[in-house]
Structure 1
Amino acid sequence: MVSNLKIIFMIITLIISFGVPITLGIIFCKKYNGTFKAILIGALVFFIFQMIIRIPMLQVFSRQSWYIAMSKNHLFFSIFLGLTAGIFEEIGRFLGFKFFLKDRLNFENGLAFGAGHGGIEAILLVGLTYINNLIYSNFINAGKLDEVFAGKVPQQTIEMIKNMLINTPDYNFLLAGIERIFAITIQIALSLLVLQSVRDKKWSYLIIAILIHMLIDTPIALMSMKGVNVFILEGITMIFAIIALIYILKQKGLEKTNAEV
Structure 2
Amino acid sequence: MTESIVISNSVFIILGAELLFSLALPIAAIIIWKKKTDASLSPFLMGAAAFFVFAMVLEQIIHFLVLGLNSAVSDFILSRPWLYAVYGGLMAGLMEETARFLVFKTMMRRNIGRENAVTYGLGHGGIECFIILGMSMISNLLLAAMFNSMGAEAFIAQYSPGQTEAVAAVIADINAVGPGTAALACFERACSLALQVELSVLVFAAVRLNKFWLYPVSILLHMGIDFFAALYQTGTLTALWAVEVMLGAYVVALFFAVRRVYKKLPPEAPTKMLDHFGRVVKG
TM-score calculated relative to the size of structure 1: 0.88
Q: From 179, 183, 193, give the equivalent of 1:174.
A: 183
User: Match for residue 91 of structure 2?
Assistant: 84
Counterpart of 1:198 in structure 2 is: 207
Give 1:169 deviation, angstroms. Answer: 5.9
My pick for the range that moved more, 6-15 or 96-105, is: 6-15
Could you tell me how far apart the structure 2 residues matched to 1:5 and 1:248 are? 40
Q: 1:68 & 1:47 partners in 2: Cα distance?
A: 28
**1:130 aligned to 2:142?**
no
Equivalent position amino acid for 1:67 in 2: S
Look up the match of 1:73.
80
For 1:32 and 1:89, the matched residues in 2 are separated by: 25
For the 8 Å contact 1:38–1:109, the answer to whether it is kept is yes
Q: CA deviation at 1:240?
A: 1.3
Which structure features the higher share of helix residues? 1
Given that residues 14 and 130 in structure 1 are in contact (C-alpha distance below 8 angstroms), is that contact kept between their aligned partners in structure 2? yes
Map of 1:231 onto structure 2: 241
Residue 180 of structure 1 aligns with an amino acid whose one-letter code is: R
Matched pairs, number? 259
The answer for the alignment partner of 1:57 in structure 2 is: 62
Counterpart contact for 1:79–1:214, Cα < 8 Å: yes
Distance, in Å, in 2 between the alignment partners of 1:208 and 1:196 is 12
Alignment of 1:85-234 (within 5 A): 85-144=92-151, 147=154, 151=158, 154-167=163-176, 171-225=180-234, 226-234=236-244
SS of 1:218's equivalent in the other structure is helix
Distance, in Å, in 2 between the alignment partners of 1:123 and 1:146 is: 32
TM-score, length-scaled by structure 2:
0.82
Deviations, residues 138-178 of structure 1 (Å, cap 9, x unaligned): 33344536646754774344323213213466522331111
Task: Specify which of 37, 40, 46 is matched with residue 32 of structure 1.
Answer: 37
| Long gaps (5+) in structure 1 | none
User: Is the 1:111–1:191 Cα contact (8 Å) retained in structure 2?
Assistant: yes
Q: Which residue of 2 aligns with 1:10?
A: 15
Q: Which amino acid aligns with 1:131?
A: I
Distance in 1 of aligned mates of 2:169 and 2:61: 23
**Structure 1 range deviating more: 58-67 or 81-90:** 58-67
Pairwise CA RMSD of aligned residues? 2.5
Q: Does the 8 A contact of 1:14 with 1:177 survive in 2? A: no
Question: Does the residue aligned with 2:47 lie in a helix, a strand or coil?
Answer: helix
Say if 1:189 and 1:247, in contact at 8 Å, map to a contact too: no
1:241 aligns with 2:251: yes
- 1 CA distance for matches of 2:259 and 2:17? 28
Query: Could you give the per-residue CA deviations for residues 206-248 of structure 1, whole angstroms, max 9, x where no partner exists?
Result: 0100111111111232244214211101111111121233345
The alignment-based identity, stated in percent, is 25
